[in-house]
Structure 1
Amino acid sequence: MTKLPPGFTHELVQHIQLEPTPDEVLGVPILNFDHFCCGAHGLSVLIETELGRGQDVQAFTTLFDTGPDQFSLVRNALGLKIPTEKITRVVTSHWHSDHTGGLLSFLKLRKGQAQARVGSPDEQTPCIVDVHPDRPTARGIAPRPNYDTVICALAIDPTFKEIEEAGGLVEKHAEAHAVAGGTVWVSGEIPRVTEWETGILGGSRWVDGAAGEKGRWTAEPHIMDERYVVVDVKGKGLVIFSACSHAGIINVIKDAIAVLQRPIFMVVGGLHLAGPEFSPRIPPTVDFMSKSLRPAPAYVLPMHCSGFQSKIALEKAFGEGCVPAGVGLKVNLVANDGAEDHMYPPVIA
């Protein structure tokens, strides 16, 4: 119910639009809370992009990550009546199960909905699953104070074989590439250049042993398979989707600017600033985004692993430009042709 900027829509409004049939007695639609979205500790963003105008417009639908479990994404897609057969590509940010946990159940839902609406399997458009080739056997968590003892493993990510058996067409990419008709850019490896973004303390990776040898846990603070996604909105600038920012959100921003030479309009996703070990990173992160980067982002949507303290600091720096974001939120960005000639390259002070 929080006030949102123009172009942002709460889930409540969307459900009113999705339930147009009035009740016979009351004369108005009744909201069914069984159809409302369910939040979970993970991330999944549906990105709809358009290229061109009028009769020549091309539309693309890309899913960025799939949440942490087999239930949440399916429930939310059904509740918001998403035509999943229109999603032709899933991009996974990295191999952590809070971002890949819903992949197989999504592919099965999409396959079933496509079968019902399209008919023959031969007429169905395949769903590409865009992944980094370096899939670990497992990843674990080693907590403070020493970050040297793994206490649990994350749920195992889907294997390439499981993805294909569920109906996905696996594409492995370690390098940056454009998808969705060139409207969505998927990054390659993110350079680590800032002094304070030093990885994820306690990040661990299982290394399989050679023949006859036991496997072992090894420290893996940098999560080098992480990727982010960018959409360049004409007349506005770059919209960055950073699923977890294990590399550090400023490293992400700096890489996007270096590669694309465009200003940052909006930052969406997990900033990985939650918890006492990350709190020292909040001031330099917020200062860079609000003071050193020119122009500064118009909007920041901290989600997932961003943490409460970072949201307070970002709200103080950006005011209403720091938007409370979560499951069910819809953002509509329209290109501004007239502003394009007046857009200058970004400057980092």
Structure 2
Amino acid sequence: MKKNILVAPLNWGLGHATRCIPIIKALESQDFTPIIASDGVALDILRKEFPHLQTLELPSYHIEYPKNGFFFKIKIFFNSPKMLEAIVSEKKVVKKWIKEYNLIGIISDNRLGVRSKKVPCVFITHQLNVMTGNTTWLTSKMHQYIIKKFDQCWVPDVDAVPNLTGDLGHLDKHYDAIKYIGPLSRLHRKPLEKKYDLMVILSGPEPQRTFLEEKLALELLKYDGKIIFIKGKIQAEQTVVEKENIIFYNYMNSEELEIAFNQSDKILCRSGYTTVMDLAQLGKKAFFIPTPGQYEQEYLAKKLKKEGLVPYCKQEKFEVNKLLEIDLYKGLSDFKTVVTWKELFQLFLK
């Protein structure tokens, strides 16, 4: 009998989807059958990574960024009715899928309605506290309330100091249902010869991804070195364009990305948590440009700069000479944690 597990990442950039890749592979290695569910680019990238697995489409949360990051909270507030509608729809469709696909468990990466009382359910998040400026206390309480509706919460970090998430992923009070599983990355360090002086990798919702792409494509023509630039645009076909010192890719699969990271000396990217975990796994030095208005990315960038690990600046203030700061910082390093998948997956066999 197949041990079907629904794996459902949120479609918010590519980070939630890509950090589910090692989870899906681990499920397969432990004789479970993952069924992937998401929407938009998150579903597209997982279909490319796992063409042999069944995929299902979930309702979209309609997450959109304003052109001005200052209005991020306002935009999310006005989008909240659509998000709530999607969450209600998720719950209904998951109820149907449990019977239709004989699910024995659910792993939800930040999809709030993908859960059921009929099977064991896991919630994956690095945000036990949700940073939203002066409303952090409220959004954190709301998020923690929803997390408690799941059987377990897996936090991809370590329950010790130093750690990667800081206040985002750690509470003052300990809960048995919260399991720190160690940072997750689909990438591995390999001893490859350096080919690029700088790697640029973009992700995140529009229109901010495009704004940064356009700004960097011009600014980095002044960079003295060879650049590989991955736009993070998941499209039907891969495209490659060379312009002066930069080679542009619209997207790369995990294998190609792993090679490109290992062939690059330094990284320029957003300070999304999945990227932070990838950089730690690879032991890379980087420069961060947080998504305007996204408090979580701004918090992580400030935390890691304060610890002397990675420099950053705001999107509108970036100039190519700021990349010289990278050498003044230590860079991220791997925690060498080993995820005990067999033990974690016992939840689904009870």
Give the structure with the larger strand fraction.
1
What TM-score does the superposition give when structure 2 sets the normalisation length? 0.31
Return the index of the structure with the highest Cα Rg: 1
Structure 1 length-normalised TM: 0.31
User: Could you say which structure has the higher helix fraction?
Assistant: 2
